[in-house]
Structure 1
Amino acid sequence: MPQIISLQPRIIDIPTVRPHKLSFGSIQQQSYCIVRIELSDGAVGWGEAATIGGASWNEESPESILHAVKAYLTPAVLNQEAGGFESILQRMDKSCRGNYFAKSAVEMALIDAVARSNDLPVWQLLGGKLHERLPLAWTLATGDVGKDLEEAYRKLEERRHRIFKIKIGARTPQEDVALVSAIARELAGKARFTVDVNQAWDGNTARRYVPELADAGVDLIEQPVAKWNIEGLASLVGMQMRTLIMADESVCTPQDALMLSKQNASHVFSLKVAKHGGLLRTRKVAAVAEAADIDWYGGTMLETSLGSAASAHVFSTLPGKHHGCELFGPQLLVDDIVENPMVVKDFDLHIPDGPGFGVTIDEKKLDRFDRSKQGLNPTHFDLGRK
């Protein structure tokens, strides 16, 4: 088995095609920590960790990820056998507590390298592909009904998306419900709808307004209350509406998943490779969901095609009922870092077949967006709630 002989992380900053508004701010640029791993047999693998709004989504940021990879994770994994994935994870855990995003970038690059070393697609290393394609959602997040509808109709005409997630929580609940209702009424019968509140509501606000979102035709409501408010999530599940409640920030570890399942606090888990700490741990959270009869949804941290392909590979191996995925990150960026983006056709994302994650990195584009080489503004994130 080849050994890990080199690990090189860097930060890149890529502007978005339009502002992406969430409950806690507006994104005009996405930042990524990209990790390159080389094995002793010459195979090279790539991984990435994306955050949303710097450190605004959780405790990690591109800068903290870069530091963790350089100072702690690299010494832990260098010269180790590349195929010992679980052993590598244990070594990373011993050297660095938490820091799941950083660990996911390293594990992603390692699995990509080992798959390429064996000329296999990653999904084959993860147990085999159950899904050739997944329905692909798009997020409507301009905050303007007219612009959101124009964008939605364009995506429908292009046959790229007919599931739309609407980001709310930055304005009053009444204004948010009015926005969702206007979009849902206009597109009734043409599309399905998910709403993401990004933890913006307290329990009483959620219990007051979630039924109105359900009446507007929303199928799935993501993280309406704070991640710690498990009782609040459980109370919404207990309302027995047709609309399903999905946990995102509340479910990061398998232990989180077990707690939510025991308290009947979620109908659906939003799975994200970065927040779970890698592909293998994503599968562990999904295993708890399957055992507890909880559905899954393939979430995104607005990754490039690299991180999106990695997520697609692990999602393609998961059993249980699912609600598609939202690996649309590459479409939100002014440019990508791969030569061959994944295929989106007839409203579905098609899973690439490899080797590795099935995408080829364009190193010239990496250099173009490399923060250390270009001196780009690392923020481009507006905390104002407008």
Structure 2
Amino acid sequence: MKIVKIETAKVNIPLVTPFKTALRTVDSVNDIVVRITTDDGQTGFGEAPPTAVITGDTHGSILSAIEEFIAPAIIGMEIENLDGIMKKLHGSIRKNSSAKAAVDMAVYDLFAKSCRKPLYKILGGGRKEIETDLTISVNGVEEMVADSLKAVSQGFRILKIKVGKESKMDVERIRAIRQAAGPDIKLRIDANQGWSAKEAVKIIRTLEDMGIVMDLVEQPVNAHDFEGMKFVTSQVYTPILADESVFSPEDAIRIIRERTADLINIKLMKTGGIHEALKICAIAESYGMECMIGCMLESKIAVSAAAHLAAGRGIITRADLDGPSLCREDPYIGGPVFDGSRIVMNEDPGMGISRVEAFCD
């Protein structure tokens, strides 16, 4: 199987409700999709969101990186030469992690197809089914409570609560949601870098003193404030998850060795795809640090790739893969089944996605 063509297209999928965090407000998934075709007619798919506030990637930069640098570097290569392709892919251009991720997942899709196995089995086997949380956007207290109760009524047992935009109200947001949702619903709190270290300790301790149990608090401080994150981690009982602070295997080693956080959030758009994410998994496994698999504002293609990784690696014990649940439509055929909180892996080869509307004539 030799790569003969790499194509790009845009998708625009409206969201059920606006996605609001401490960093941005978004009304639709507006991503770049990739299709790689081989000389025997097989196709593999990938996706990249332009998350400029986190990765620095825009529509223009993603398209340029793929069309001008990555594609010329790997067209003509054999899919079976996976390590060689990844070396060329990552050496073709610096940074541009989202563009690399889109091409990486399309290559892995094709590699698994060449082995005639679903991707998650190529990545280690493991679980047939995983459970995801659902994100509750940061809004007024009453709206967030209503959104949380709606999610629970839909069968979600884990809620990811966005905070960090107005720190003075964050305790009340979390307290009200806990009271309304009840003690059996897991709460994951995501500040998206919105607090200072001292604010984070004060808020988390206040919630702990109120008897509010949280599964974790994600990225409470600025991504580059490693000392601040370490301070928060050492001062509270609730596990702290490093997200925007971890892009690379080197970042993961630093977080673990310096005890900056208790958990690591792996996102393919930060790592540049599955290849580098597997390195972070191996590092985490060697140190015994559990990971969560997350996503940006992505649709089913990219989230499917992340789900396959999660199903294949046991060190990934938590999943934040609610992108398809946030979308109003699904312009794809095949792949894992996203049924509310349940993600059931496909058993056909590769990621399982057989049709992408953006590439249909």
Identify the TM-score tier after normalising by the shorter chain.
Answer: over 0.9
1:352 alignment counterpart? 346
User: Do 2:55 and 2:98's aligned partners in 1 also have CA atoms closer than 8 Å?
Assistant: no
> What is the alpha-carbon distance in structure 2 between the residues aligned to residue 234 and residue 61 of structure 1?
31
Asked if 1:194 is matched to 2:188, the reply is yes
Residue equivalent to 1:43:
42
Amino acid at match of 2:163: I
Residue in 2 that maps onto 1:131: 127
1:234 has 2:230 as partner? yes
Letter in 1 for 2:223: K
Cα deviation code 1:20-42 (max 9, x no counterpart): 11102211122211110001121
What's 1:84 paired with?
81
Amino acid at match of 2:15: T
Q: What are the superposed Cα offsets for residues 263-301 of structure 1, whole Å, 9 maximum, x if unpaired?
A: 001111111112111112111111111222211111111
Deviations 1:142-181 (A, max 9, x none): 513333333333332332x11001111111x121121111
Q: In structure 2, how many angstroms separate the alpha carbons of the residues matched to 1:236 and 1:175?
A: 19
Taking structure 2 as the reference length, what is the TM-score of the superposition?
0.94
- Shift of the alpha carbon at 1:13? 2.1
- Whether 1:168 aligns to 2:163 is yes
Q: Contact 1:306–1:337 (CA<8 Å) still a contact in 2?
A: no
CA contact (8 A) 1:136 1:326 kept: yes
Equivalent position of 2:91 in the other structure: 94
Question: Could you tell me how far apart the structure 2 residues matched to 1:354 and 1:232 are?
Answer: 46
Aligned residue pairs total 359
CA distance in 2, matches of 1:154, 1:340: 27
Moved more, 263-272 or 79-88: 79-88
CA-to-aligned-CA distance 1:160-209 (integer Å, 9 cap, x gap): x11001111111x1211211111112212231001111111222222222
CA distance in 2 between counterparts of 1:29 and 1:325 reads 22
- Opposite residue 238 of structure 1, the aligned amino acid is S
* Deviation by residue 1:199-256 (Cα, 9 ceiling, x = unmatched): 1122222222222244432220000011111111111221251x10000000110000
Match of 2:31 in 1: 32
| Contact kept? 1:276, 1:282, Cα under 8 Å | yes
Q: Mind listing any 5+ residue stretches in structure 1 that lack a counterpart?
A: 369-386
Q: Residue 285 of structure 1 corresponds to which residue in structure 2?
A: 280
Identity of aligned residues (%): 28
Tell me if the contact between 1:302 and 1:330 (Cα under 8 Å) persists in the aligned partners.
no
1:66 aligns with: 63
Q: Is the 8 A contact 2:8 2:32 kept in 1?
A: yes
For residue 315 of structure 1, give the secondary structure of its aligned residue in structure 2: helix
**CA contact under 8 A between 2:201 and 2:236: conserved in structure 1?**
no
* TM-score normalized with structure 1 length: 0.88
Q: CA offsets, 1:105-141, max 9 Å, x none?
A: 1111111123224432112222x32122222100010
Alignment equivalent of 2:101, drawn from 94, 98, 104: 104
Q: Is the 8 A contact 1:33 1:49 kept in 2?
A: yes
Q: Is the 8 A contact 2:304 2:336 kept in 1?
A: yes
**Are residues 180 and 366 of structure 1, via their aligned partners in 2, closer, same or farther at CA, if it must alter by over 3 Å?**
farther
Moved more, 337-346 or 102-111: 337-346
Change (3 A) 1:220 1:188: same
Q: Retained in 2: the 8 A contact 1:11–1:66?
A: no
Cα separation, 2, equivalents of 1:17 and 1:193: 21
Counterpart in 2 of 1:379? none
Kindly indicate whether the alpha-carbon contact (under 8 Å) linking 1:251 and 1:269 is maintained by their aligned counterparts in 2: yes
Distance 1:213 1:340, change over 3 A: farther
Quote the Cα distance in structure 1 between the aligned partners of 2:360 and 2:78.
29
Secondary structure of 2:95's match?
Answer: coil
The question of 1:121 aligning with 2:118 is answered yes
For residues 237 and 223 of structure 1, the distance between their equivalents in structure 2, rounded to whole angstroms, comes to 11
Given that residues 45 and 353 in structure 2 are in contact (C-alpha distance below 8 angstroms), is that contact kept between their aligned partners in structure 1?
no
- The alpha-carbon deviation at position 45 of structure 1 amounts to 0.6
Change over 3 Å in CA distance of 1:344–1:335 after alignment to 2: closer
Conserved? CA contact 2:193–2:223, under 8 Å: yes
1:329 aligns with 2:323: yes
Cα separation, 1, equivalents of 2:72 and 2:127:
37
Render the CA deviation track for 1:355-382: whole Å, top value 9, x for unaligned: 111233242x5669xxxxxxxxxxxxxx
1:318 alignment counterpart: 313
2:152 equivalent to 1:156: yes
Rounded Cα–Cα distance in structure 1 between residues aligned with 2:10 and 2:338: 27
The RMSD of aligned alpha carbons is 1.9
Q: Any stretches of 5+ residues in structure 2 without a counterpart?
A: none
Amino acid corresponding to residue 325 of structure 2 in structure 1: Q
